[in-house]
Amino acid sequence: MKIFEYGSGGSTLFWLNLGAECVSVEHNPDWYELMRPHFADMDRIDYRLVLPEPSENKEAQDIADPNLYLSDDVTFSECNFRKYVCQIDLFPDNIFDIVLVDGRARPSCIKHASKKVKIGGLIVLDNSDREYYLRMTANLLQDFDRRIFQGVAPGVTWFTETSIFIRRV
């Protein structure tokens, strides 16, 4: 299987241990350095650190807009994640079995991922209960069937949601 991940960690190790090929893009240099030794002896991973860049427009903007490459994290309020999100564009369309969206600028990630997933492939959107992720991107997923899973996630005490979008055509 070919996997693309926005955000790295336990899922990366899970997929690698199953024999998958992974491309994992990370925005956080500290987390990247913490995880990198776990991948050192593995040849099936393409692990990338892509830092956010300063935004040209400093005015308040809609984080739901997939064309703006923004994060809801106030730490990055004056940054954009265009280079991070666009890493997937370096690959042909219809190439990945699974794209995991568990990083920054998720509406933008959805926009770029929707063309990269094979027919029958999956986009896994973590924390899909955050309304703004799909407010302006649902139309990009019209060729996908959605399955919703709810439960408690690691590190939080409330219920959250993960959506799996299965590409039909």
**Mind listing the pLDDT tens digit for each residue in 45-74?**
999 999 999 988 777 799 999 999 999 999
92: CATH:
3.40.50.150
Domain that holds residue 97: 2-167
The mean-pLDDT minimum among 49-63, 103-117, 137-151 falls in 49-63
Query: Please, are residues 141 and 95 in contact by the beta-carbon 8 Å criterion?
Result: no
The total number of structural domains that make up the chain: 1
pLDDT at 153 (0 to 100): 78
% residues pLDDT > 70 (the chain):
100
**Mind listing the pLDDT tens digit for each residue in 75-99?**
999 999 999 999 999 999 999 999 9
pLDDT at 56 (0 to 100): 80
pLDDT at 40 (0 to 100): 87
